[in-house]
Structures are given as C-alpha cells and as structure tokens.
C-alpha cells in the first residue's frame, strides 16, 4: 500500500499517525494492498477555495475526498482480483479540525484520525446525505477507529511487556545466571 502525505498547512500534524490510520482503514475495508492514496493537509484559505470550487459551498471544511478509481470494498468472492488502484486524494484542514476537536472535547490528533477514516470511506463510495447512509457510514467509521485504537493499545502493552522482559533478562542473563 502506498500512501503519500504532504503537509502544506503550517500546522503541526503527526504524519505517521495519520498515514497509519489511513492504512488501517484501507485494510479494514479489504481494499487491495497495492492501492495508492494521496493525502494533503492545507490551511483554512486553501480549504475554503477547494470547498467553493468543488462543492459550491462557502468557507472551509474539515475534510474533502476526491475519488479516482471506482472501487467496491471487499468485492465478491467469485470476482477476479481487481488489483491495485489509485483510491484518490484526501485533503485535511488541521486548523479546522483543531477547532472541532476543542468543541468536541478531544485531541486534534483524534479528530484528524476521525477525518482520515471518514475520507477513506468517502473514497470507497460511502456517503451521509440520507439518514440511513449516515448511520451506516458513521457506525463503520466508529468501528474502524475503535479497532485501530484497540490494536494500538495492544501494541503498546506488548512493547511495555517486552521492555520489562528485556530489563529482567538483562539483569540476570540468559536462564537466570548472573552476569
């Protein structure tokens, strides 16, 4: 999977985290591992320009998605492998996200993760224009994020345990002999 990220926003973004969340969401949706995604973080003015140009709506927004190749998550078991494809582009506005995060009472990092998964789902054809679509998309978004955070917690727990084991083995040597 190839994910390119460019930060032109002037805002501090944990690029590794955003890319990891995007990769997790793409894998969770059973998209071909060779898929390509481009991500861009922009400032408020740039996002406002994009929002007007592509959505005909005034002012900036938090995330915009621009699909490239038409993909169906998971596909059918009897279909030939579609192979790698370009999912498209996700444009994030970290400053807008920071304001939303403050209003929601969570971190900007979490808000960017939410918006990243949201953007991936839009690239895969999900929408929230109708109430049923909104319920489906947001439930899926929440589920993917919950799985991502559970995986992160598990990896952190394993790393802590490994560090404790290393420290213990370092003190006593292999098989409990003193060095």
- Residue 126 belongs to what H/E stretch? none
Work out the angle at residue 26's Cα, subtended by the Cα atoms of residues 15 and 24, and round it to the nearest 5 degrees: 55
DSSP-assigned states of every residue in 130-170:
SHHHHHHHHHHHHHHHHHHHHHHHHHHHHHHHHHHHHHHHH
- The reply, when asked if residue 118 is annotated as ligand binding, is yes
Neighbours of 66 (CB within 10 A): 16
Could you give phi then psi for residue 66, rounded to 5 degrees?
-125, 95
User: Which tokens sit at 3?
Assistant: 């994910």
Decide: 60 and 88 in contact? Cβ < 8 Å. no
Q: Sheet harboring 63-67: ordered strands across?
A: 2-7, 36-41, 86-92, 63-67
Q: Is position 128 annotated in a ligand binding site?
A: yes
As annotated, the binding site for Zn(2+) includes: 118, 122, 128
As annotated, the binding site includes: 118, 122, 128
């Amino acid at each position: 999977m190839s994910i390119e990220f460019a930060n032109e926003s002037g805002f501090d973004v944990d690029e590794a985290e955003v890319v990891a969340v995007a990769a997790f969401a793409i894998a969770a949706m059973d998209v071909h591992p060779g898929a390509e995604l481009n991500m861009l973080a922009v400032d408020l003015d740039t996002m406002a320009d994009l929002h007007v140009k592509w959505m005909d709506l005034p002012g900036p927004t938090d995330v915009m998605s621009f699909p490239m190749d038409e993909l169906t998550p998971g596909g059918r078991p009897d279909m030939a492998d579609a192979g790698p494809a370009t999912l498209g582009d996700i444009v994030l506005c970290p400053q807008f996200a920071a304001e939303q995060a403050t209003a929601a009472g969570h971190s900007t990092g979490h808000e960017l993760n939410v918006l990243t998964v949201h953007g991936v789902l839009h690239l895969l054809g999900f929408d929230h224009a109708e109430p049923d679509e909104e319920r489906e998309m947001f439930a899926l978004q929440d589920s993917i994020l919950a799985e991502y955070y559970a995986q992160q917690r598990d990896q952190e727990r394993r790393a802590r345990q490994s560090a404790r084991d290393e420290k213990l083995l370092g003190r006593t040597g292999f098989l409990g002999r003193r060095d």
